Amino acid sequence: MMTSTLLLLSTLAASPDPAEDVVRAEPSRHQFSLYARSGATVYLSRVRTHGGVGGGFGLRDTVDGRWLLQADANALIGVGTSFAVRLGAGVQREGRWAPAALVNLTGLFGDRMDFLTPEHPSFIGGPSLGLGLTFAPARFTLGRAQVSLLEVGVGVGTDRPGLGLLYGLTVLEVGVAL
């Protein structure tokens, strides 16, 4: 018994410290996180109104602690029931206070209000698409969690021959690193 105990203790003493392996390992370039958001997305043009208020979930990849790539899906109510999908890329400040700016491509699907005009004597088919900018000045990183308050977005879409405006407001977004 004494011999096996000494053998076990000598093996533990000779083995490398697991904490040293963590220190020696290079940090990952990619940090994936899941997030939930609540807010509003509205697309307005002369020929249709689309969107509403609601929330959804998304996946974000933070590359080198600075660059953001994200995709999310949101259920909206207001002008009927609709669904918004956003793809975005941007940059954030590193640190506890991490404001960000992103370029987003947003597609709205589902119920909407259509208007017939002389330029559009028939309804426009397909989703409402908009390309825009989102600013998140009140973003914070708290350990493995991210919290963002009052993100504001604005963009443009095309309803040929006119333009549509896309507005977005995120009231609260909470994410957790995977």
pLDDT higher than 50, residue 177: yes
In a domain, 173, yes or no: yes
In a domain, 91, yes or no: yes
In a domain, 77, yes or no: yes
pLDDT in tens, 7-31: 444 444 444 555 545 555 566 789 9
- Rounded Cα–Cα distance for residues 86 and 84 (Å): 7
In a domain, 24, yes or no: no
pLDDT for 62 equals 94
- Mean pLDDT, residues 70-76: 97
DSSP secondary structure letters along the chain:
-HHHHHHHHHHHHHSPPHHHHHHHSPPPSEEEEEEEEEEEEEEE-SSEEEEEEEEEEEEEEEETTTEEEEEEEEEEEESEEEEEEEEEEEEE--SSB--EEEEEEEEEEE-EEE---SS-SSPPPS-EEEEEEEEESEEEEETTEEEEEEEEEEEEEEETTEEEEEEEEEEEEEEEE-
pLDDT for 12 equals 45
pLDDT for 3 equals 53
pLDDT for 107 equals 96
In a domain, 72, yes or no: yes
**Long-range contacts at 140-145 (CB < 8 A, ≥ 24 apart):** 140/96, 140/97, 140/98, 141/95, 141/96, 141/98, 142/96, 144/176, 144/177, 145/174, 145/175, 145/176, 145/177
Domain that holds residue 68: 29-177
What is the pTM for the complete model shown? 0.80
pLDDT for 27 equals 63
In a domain, 15, yes or no: no
Q: Which residue has the higher pLDDT, 160 or 5?
A: 160
pLDDT in tens, 84-138: 999 999 999 999 999 999 999 999 999 999 888 887 788 888 899 999 999 999 9
Residue 145: band (very low, low, confident or very high) from pLDDT cuts 50, 70, 90: very high
pLDDT for 7 equals 46
Residue 92 belongs to domain with CATH number: 2.40.160.20
Q: Are 85 and 106 in contact (CB under 8 A)?
A: yes
In a domain, 19, yes or no: no
- Rounded Cα–Cα distance for residues 124 and 83 (Å): 17
What whole-number percentage of the chain has pLDDT above 90?
69
In a domain, 108, yes or no: yes
What's the total number of domains in the chain?
Answer: 1
pLDDT in tens, 28-63: 789 999 999 999 999 999 889 999 999 999 999 999
